[in-house]
């Protein structure tokens, strides 16, 4: 009996670092989401986690990946798997771009700096949001990796032109114009809570803050959360808390049009990406306008509830514009196998935002490193199980319901 016991009992070294201990218990994005839910005040978690109105589009993005299945090929004699790809003509370690997310510091005090460093280490581009809580310059100072910059159509186009020049001076390689935010989506979780940015600790949130002392202490110890790209500007930099709906509806121009896309080209000589394309017709117009990539996106289900899920758009858009402009699929990516599905349908890369915010909220920068490591491995494993050696070989014959099915 003692021999049996000896053969089965194993005591590993005790992990003393609380972040590593937390991460050691996580194996999926859903696990990171649960950890973030525990660590963040409810208002901050719901701002990240929630979507517009009934959250149907939010759910539809994930459901589209879940209901798409593979046609794995076997006995293919693969001698190696290469998951590297190119996005906007330059190498990426695997076909992923980190999406722009506003107010990243509500998930962790390092915010955008942590995410940019993790993306650089993982070898994938990171997109900094206009509404970031670290500036264009601060982010470049911590990363030599590939950086893209996202812009909204501020009513004050002079401000846009100035930010674009700052991004060019800091060697950001692409400008991502978000086109799905003519007005702000109604995120009912935030409406119910009166959630403002930066978050406030007041009578209604004090209990929430006390229940999350780690987050509250970190917030109080770090410098104030500001809209770092517009600090000191008339448009408001977050020194007085605002609801995002009021901010966006007052500062952003709902009359954005294709003429503005042309105008952007006059102030920016680099690559232009349109984020928020949701129909084949608009993808064709974007290709006609000569943009370098379209991001098929419904803003993670945070804008128009009832907008289509993005994965089913990939194939028709690829049929209409493939080869003329790159196609990036955003929304609902929770696993590396989702990235493989989008590429097999015809995308050049995926974008993801919410998942890395869960990782950041769960375990800070180490959480984002862990997530990107999982996804890199997922893509490799999924390709191996599909019998595919390179990203270029991913095509529709590997998806159920493809013409190859018979
Ligand atoms: C900002 O872009 C948001 O979706 O909250």
Instruction: Judge residue 216's burial from the number of C-beta atoms within 10 Å of its C-beta, 0-12 exposed, 13-18 middle, 19 or more buried.
Output: middle
**Which H/E stretch holds residue 96?**
strand 96-98
pLDDT 10s digits, 207-219: 888 889 989 898 8
pLDDT of res. 88: 98
* Residues 173 and 161: beta-carbon distance below 8 Å: no
CB 146 within 8 A of CB 90: yes
d(CA 275, ligand 1 centre) in Å: 13
> How many whole angstroms separate alpha carbon 134 and alpha carbon 36?
21
Using DSSP's 3-state secondary structure scheme, residue 252 falls into strand
CA 101 to centroid of ligand 1, rounded, Å = 6
Across all residues in the chain, what is the average pLDDT?
95
Q: Based on the residue annotation, tell me whether 376 is a catalytic residue of this protein.
A: no
End-to-end CA distance of the chain: 57
Confidence of residue 405 (pLDDT cuts 50, 70, 90): very low
Residue 148: pLDDT above 80? yes
Compute the Cα dihedral for 289, 293, 296, 297 and give only its sign: negative
Rounded distance between C-alpha atoms, residue 22 and residue 312, angstroms: 36
Predicted confidence at residue 402, as pLDDT, reads 58
**Residue 366 Cα, ligand 1 centroid: separation in angstroms?**
24
> Distance between CA 230 and CA 226 in Å, rounded?
8
- One DSSP character per residue, 151-172 reads E--BS-HHHHHHHHHHHHHTT-
The CA distance from 54 to 310, in Å, is 18
pLDDT in tens, 159-218: 999 999 999 999 999 999 999 999 999 999 999 988 998 888 777 677 888 889 989 898
pLDDT tens by residue, 33-72: 999 999 999 999 999 999 999 999 999 999 999 999 999 9
- Which of 48, 101, 112 for mutating ligand 1's site (highest number of atoms within 8 Å of CB)? 101
pLDDT of residue 13 exceeding 90, the answer is no
Number of Cβ within 10 Å of residue 279's Cβ equals: 14
pLDDT band at 2 (very low <50, low <70, confident <90, very high): confident
Q: Take residue 73 and report the two structure tokens written for it.
A: 């090929």
Residue 89's CB is within 10 A of a number of other CB atoms, namely 9
- 8 Å CB contact between 183 and 254: yes
pTM confidence score: 0.96
Distance CA 185, CA 51 (A): 8
Q: For residues 278 and 297, what is the distance between their CA atoms, to the nearest angstrom?
A: 6
pLDDT (tens digit per residue) in 350-371: 999 999 999 999 999 999 999 9
| Joined tokens for residue 344 | 């097999």
Residues pairing with 242 in the sheet: 197
Atom of ligand 1 nearest to the CA of 187: 5
| 272 pLDDT higher than 50 | yes
Ligand 1 neighbours, Cβ below 6 Å, are 102, 244, 299, 302
In Å, the largest CA–CA distance within the chain is 80
């Amino acid at each position: 009996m003692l021999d049996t016991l000896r053969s089965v009992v194993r005591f590993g070294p005790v992990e003393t670092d609380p972040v590593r201990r937390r991460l050691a218990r996580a194996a999926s994005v859903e696990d990171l989401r649960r950890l973030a839910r525990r660590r963040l005040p409810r208002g901050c978690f719901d701002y990240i986690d929630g979507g517009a109105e009934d959250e149907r589009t939010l759910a539809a993005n994930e459901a589209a990946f879940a209901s798409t299945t593979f046609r794995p090929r076997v006995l293919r004699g693969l001698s190696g798997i290469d998951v590297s790809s190119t996005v906007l003509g330059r190498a990426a370690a695997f076909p992923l771009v980190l999406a722009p997310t506003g107010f990243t510091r509500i998930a962790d005090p390092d915010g955008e700096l942590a995410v940019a460093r993790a993306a650089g280490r993982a070898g994938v581009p990171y997109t900094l949001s206009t509404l970031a809580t670290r500036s264009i310059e601060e982010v470049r100072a911590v990363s030599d990796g590939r950086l893209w910059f996202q812009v909204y159509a501020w009513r004050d186009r002079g401000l846009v032109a100035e930010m674009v020049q700052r991004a060019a001076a800091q060697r950001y390689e692409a400008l991502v114009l978000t086109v799905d935010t003519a007005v702000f989506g109604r995120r009912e979780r935030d409406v119910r809570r009166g959630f403002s940015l930066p978050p406030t600790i007041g009578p209604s949130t004090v209990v929430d803050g006390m229940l999350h002392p780690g987050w509250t202490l970190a917030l109080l110890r770090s410098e104030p959360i500001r809209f770092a790209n517009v600090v000191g500007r008339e448009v408001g930099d977050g020194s007085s808390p605002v609801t995002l709906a009021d901010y966006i509806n007052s500062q952003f121009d709902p009359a954005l049009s294709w003429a503005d896309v042309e105008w952007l080209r006059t102030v920016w000589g680099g690559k232009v990406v349109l984020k928020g394309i949701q129909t084949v017709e608009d993808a064709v117009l974007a290709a006609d306008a000569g943009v370098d990539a379209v991001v098929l996106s419904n803003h993670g289900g945070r804008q128009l509830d009832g907008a289509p899920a993005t994965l089913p758009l990939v194939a028709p858009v690829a049929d209409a514009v493939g080869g003329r402009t790159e196609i990036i699929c955003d929304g609902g990516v929770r696993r590396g196998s989702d990235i493989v599905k989008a590429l097999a349908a015809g995308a050049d890369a995926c974008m993801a935002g919410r998942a890395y915010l869960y990782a950041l909220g769960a375990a800070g920068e180490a959480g984002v490193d862990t997530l990107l490591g999982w996804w890199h491995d997922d893509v490799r494993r999924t390709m191996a199980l599909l019998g595919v050696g390179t990203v270029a070989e991913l095509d529709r014959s590997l998806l159920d319901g493809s013409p190859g099915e018979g």
